[in-house]
Amino acid sequence: MNDMHADDSTGSPRRIKSIQTASAILEAIQYLESPTFTDICNEVEISKGTVHTYLETLENEGFIAKSGKKYQLGVRLVTMGESVRNQTDIYRAGQDEVETLAEKTGEWVHLTVEYQGQEVTLYESSGDRAIAMDYHLRMRESPQYLYHTAAGKAMLACFDRERVREIIDQQGFVQRTEKTITDLETLFDELEQIQAQGYAVNDEEEVRGMRSVGTAITGPDATVCGAISVTAPTSRLSGDYFESEIPELVMEAANIIEVNLETAGVQKPR
Amino acid sequence: MNDMHADDSTGSPRRIKSIQTASAILEAIQYLESPTFTDICNEVEISKGTVHTYLETLENEGFIAKSGKKYQLGVRLVTMGESVRNQTDIYRAGQDEVETLAEKTGEWVHLTVEYQGQEVTLYESSGDRAIAMDYHLRMRESPQYLYHTAAGKAMLACFDRERVREIIDQQGFVQRTEKTITDLETLFDELEQIQAQGYAVNDEEEVRGMRSVGTAITGPDATVCGAISVTAPTSRLSGDYFESEIPELVMEAANIIEVNLETAGVQKPR
DNA sequence: ACGGGAGTTTGGTATATACAAACCTATATG
DNA sequence: CATATAGGTTTGTATATACCAAACTCCCGT
């Protein structure tokens, strides 16, 4: 008695359609930066009147805010986002270590997690030599493809290969630079290597002139729960520094975070 | 229990009920920290089956995440929250100045905005002497009452007194310490004083042993768009330092942010 | 094995939703 | 100045859908 009205996606659990619609509208607003009413109508395929009602409601609930004629996501989401971070174990366990690593290296350090096949930045810290702010802004705002970054690849390397295949099947390969990985075979080869050496590198695969080194963080239950990475311009991140010193530091940091997670888990197992 | 067409304020706009319900569920999850299914059912007065459908949908959309039997807000909210901040003028215009001020003073510095009569922290930075981390965690996560904090009072002082009255009418006075303001008259008197001297202080009114100094930030259109404050233990924040040096620094920072806002507005007037 | 609490699925129905089209309201256009 | 046009809001209404209750499954403790 499974399929009655063979509908979309997995199985047929009931869903609240209005929430899906609201979600689409929020996504449109986030994507379009500061869209006007009609911008939103054009993005989502819903009648004007309906969109209007949704916007009214979302604004009333604090999910969006209207300033002048433009819509934006609302500050309530800042509060909620903060709440998520503080409840996420890896954030609490890793925040200090990210800062320490940023100070040691002087570069950008990111603490990320995987979410629905993409990479989300939970926390970041910049050392005193860190550059390319714009890029990092974008990175914080929107999820990234896992195969684009060192931290992402480090997490992929821990996943079941079947799962990796599913993620890629779903997303396809998006080429960002001439060095971006664009086929499964290359990716799988690299994942093997990452597993062997314990860390991943990103050699101008996402942004030209930028390299990074990342490694996965595993929780007490032995599953990956995130990754940490150092990012810097190729000019500074090269030679022995790139190939052994930084990887060493990154792995050390990951290790400390893992220990923190372990002890945190002991403190409140429930 | 509720009146049928409970339309607040303007006219009777249509609303999507499902979004309101979803919002209530999200709020419950945030409030209850890591509730189980039944916890949520008890918090919101909706039948089990319905709650189930909502949770399925919200999880599917990334607004919440289930780990084991517990529900939490989902990482999508982190991304969205970050996006809000980066699109908020005062955040972009003030971030650097907050950090500078934190370095200069060595204490906690907060950049906040008003939202529905409450105070939301957009950004914060801690100097090297900053303490009482727990308190600041809470502060970031949940909105605060404006009359509890220096930054909040600084904003209130810029509001129309009628608006202040409305906000208080709605919220009532919640006493946190023996120094908390608990009546309108005292509040209004203080607001006058704040307007006169250009900054507000919080003398252990929210947390015992903690003082702060804050001032409002006005945008190019001459409306308040936020506030900045310095917070430190009473032992360090006293005498001339408390009464003139720090206020001086805070007002200077606010001024710089206002200039940034001005020029930012000129750059892209759209 | 049994009871019961926790969570999930299902049927039916009241109603909330979403469309279309009418309706305003500014801003351009002739 | 009149008119056109796009941007935004409101309303009537058929129908999709959200909601409850109750049946059901699963899991845990005894």
Across A49-67, average pLDDT: 95
A51: which nucleotide lies closest, measuring CA to C1'? C18
Please name the residue whose C-alpha is nearest to the C1' of nucleotide D16.
Answer: A17
Q: What is the pLDDT of residues B22-80, one digit of tens each?
A: 999 999 999 998 999 999 999 999 999 999 999 999 999 999 999 889 999 999 999 99
Q: Token digits for B125?
A: 């930075």
Nearest chain A CA: its distance from B44 CA (Å): 16
In this structure, what are the phi and psi dihedrals at residue A6, rounded to the nearest 5 degrees?
-25, 90
CA neighbor of A83 nearest in space, from B39, B120, B174? B120
- Measured between beta carbons, which residues in chain B are less than 8 angstroms from residue A56? 13-15
Report helix, strand or coil for A145. Answer: strand
pLDDT at A14 over 50: yes
Closest partner residue to A22 (CB to CB) among B19, B77, B140 is B19
Find, in chain A, the residue whose alpha carbon is nearest to that of B139.
A79
Q: What is the pLDDT of residue B57?
A: 96
Q: How far is the CA of B230 from the C1' of C3 (A)?
A: 59
Give the number of other CB atoms < 10 A from CB of residue A91: 18
DSSP E strand boundaries for chain A: 64-67, 70-73, 108-115, 118-126, 144-145, 200-203, 210-218, 224-233
Tell me which of A127-131, B71-75, B196-200 is least confident. Answer: A127-131
Q: Encode A191-212: b = buried (16+ Cβ within 10 Å), e = exposed.
A: beebeeeebbbbbbbbbeebbb
Q: What is the pLDDT of residue B267?
A: 40
CA neighbor of A89 nearest in space, from B13, B231, B65, B233? B65
Q: What is the pLDDT of residues B96-109, one digit of tens each?
A: 999 999 999 999 99
Q: What is the pLDDT of residue B210?
A: 92
Nearest chain B CA: its distance from A221 CA (Å): 12
Across B204-224, average pLDDT: 92
Q: What is the pLDDT of residue B128?
A: 84
- Measured between beta carbons, which residues in chain B are less than 8 angstroms from residue A53? 13-16
Whether B72 contacts A84, CB under 8 Å: yes
Across B118-140, average pLDDT: 81
Closest partner residue to A13 (CB to CB) among B56, B84, B116 is B56
pLDDT at A8 over 50: no
Contact between chains at A54 and B16 (C-beta distance less than 8 A): yes
pLDDT at B269 over 60: no
Q: What is the pLDDT of residue A11?
A: 44
pLDDT at B11 over 80: no
Q: What is the pLDDT of residue B4?
A: 36
Q: What is the pLDDT of residue B268?
A: 37
Contact between chains at B83 and A14 (C-beta distance less than 8 A): no
Q: What is the pLDDT of residue B74?
A: 94
Across B174-180, average pLDDT: 94
User: Parallel, antiparallel, or unpaired: how do β-strands A210-218 and A70-73 relate?
Assistant: unpaired
Higher pLDDT, A5 or B138: B138
Q: What is the pLDDT of residue A135?
A: 72
Q: What is the pLDDT of residue B136?
A: 72
Please tell me whether any atom of strand D lies within 7 Å of the Cβ of B14: yes
Q: Which of B8, B17, B83 to mutate to test the interface with A (most CBs of A within 10 A)?
A: B83
Q: What is the pLDDT of residue B133?
A: 67
Whether A84 contacts A50, CB under 8 Å: no
Q: What is the pLDDT of residue A138?
A: 73
Give the number of other CB atoms < 10 A from CB of residue A85: 23
- Measured between beta carbons, which residues in chain B are less than 8 angstroms from residue A33? 87
- Measured between beta carbons, which residues in chain B are less than 8 angstroms from residue A62? 23, 115-116
Q: Which of A9, A59, A82 to mutate to test the interface with B (most CBs of B within 10 A)?
A: A82
∠ CA(B156), CA(B157), CA(B161), 5° rounding? 80
- Measured between beta carbons, which residues in chain B are less than 8 angstroms from residue A31? none
Please name the residue whose C-alpha is nearest to the C1' of nucleotide D20.
Answer: B47
In this structure, what are the phi and psi dihedrals at residue B201, rounded to the nearest 5 degrees?
-120, 155
CA distance linking residue B55 with residue A15, whole number of Å: 9
Residue A23, C-beta contacts closer than 8 angstroms, at least 6 positions apart: B61, B62, B63
- Measured between beta carbons, which residues in chain B are less than 8 angstroms from residue A61? 19-20, 23
CA distance linking residue B213 with residue B197, whole number of Å: 12
Please tell me whether any atom of strand D lies within 7 Å of the Cβ of A270: no
Q: What is the pLDDT of residues A213-264, one digit of tens each?
A: 999 999 887 889 899 999 999 999 999 999 999 999 999 999 999 999 988 7
Across B244-254, average pLDDT: 97
CA neighbor of B257 nearest in space, from B211, B214, B216, B206? B216
pLDDT at B3 over 50: no
Please tell me whether any atom of strand D lies within 7 Å of the Cβ of B269: no
Cα separations in angstroms, B270 against A1, A35, A38, A106? 56, 12, 17, 37
> Is the CB of residue A161 less than 8 Å away from at least one CB of chain B?
no
CA distance linking residue A77 with residue B85, whole number of Å: 9
Q: How far is the CA of B17 from the C1' of C20 (A)?
A: 22
Percentage helix, strand, coil for chain A under 3-state DSSP, each rounded to 5:
50, 20, 30
Please tell me whether any atom of strand D lies within 7 Å of the Cβ of A4: no
Give the number of other CB atoms < 10 A from CB of residue A24: 17
Identify the DSSP state of B106.
-
Instruction: Please provide the average confidence, as pLDDT, over all residues in chain A.
Output: 89
pLDDT level of residue B110 (50, 70, 90 thresholds): very high
Q: Which of residues 39-98 of B touch strand D (CB under 7 A)?
A: 46-50, 53-54
Residues 80-139 of chain A with CB under 8 A from chain B are: 80-88, 113, 115-116, 120-122, 137
Whether B125 contacts A63, CB under 8 Å: no
CA neighbor of A247 nearest in space, from A237, A234, A257, A256? A237
> Is the CB of residue A23 less than 8 Å away from at least one CB of chain B?
yes
pLDDT at A153 over 50: yes
Q: What is the pLDDT of residues B141-166, one digit of tens each?
A: 888 999 999 999 999 999 999 999 99
Cα separations in angstroms, B73 against A173, A175, B263? 30, 32, 37
Find, in chain B, the residue whose alpha carbon is nearest to that of A18.
B18
> Is the CB of residue A36 less than 8 Å away from at least one CB of chain B?
no
Q: What is the pLDDT of residue A265?
A: 56
**pTM for this predicted structure:** 0.86
pLDDT at A6 over 50: no
pLDDT level of residue A12 (50, 70, 90 thresholds): low
Cα dihedral B139, B144, B148, B152 sign: positive
Closest partner residue to A30 (CB to CB) among B80, B122, B143 is B80
If you write DSSP's letter for every residue of A188-233 in order, what string do you get? HHHHHHHHHHS-EEEESSSSTTEEEEEEEEE-TTSSEEEEEEEEEE
Residue ranges of domains in chain A, CATH in brackets: 17-74 (1.10.10.10), 88-265 (3.30.450.40)
Please tell me whether any atom of strand D lies within 7 Å of the Cβ of A49: yes
Across B5-12, average pLDDT: 41
CA distance linking residue B24 with residue B35, whole number of Å: 14
Q: Token digits for A24?
A: 């689409």
Q: What is the pLDDT of residue A132?
A: 66
pLDDT at B270 over 90: no
CA distance linking residue A251 with residue B220, whole number of Å: 48
- Count of CB pairs separated by less than 8 Å, A with B: 156
Whether A101 contacts A250, CB under 8 Å: yes
What is the length of chain A?
Answer: 270
Tell me which of A56-70, B45-59, B253-267 is least confident. Answer: B253-267
In one letter, which amino acid is B222? Answer: A
pLDDT at B9 over 50: no
Percent of chain B, pLDDT > 90? 77
Name residue, tokens 């290969």: A161
Instruction: Please provide the average confidence, as pLDDT, over all residues in chain B.
Output: 89
Q: Token digits for B1?
A: 């229990």
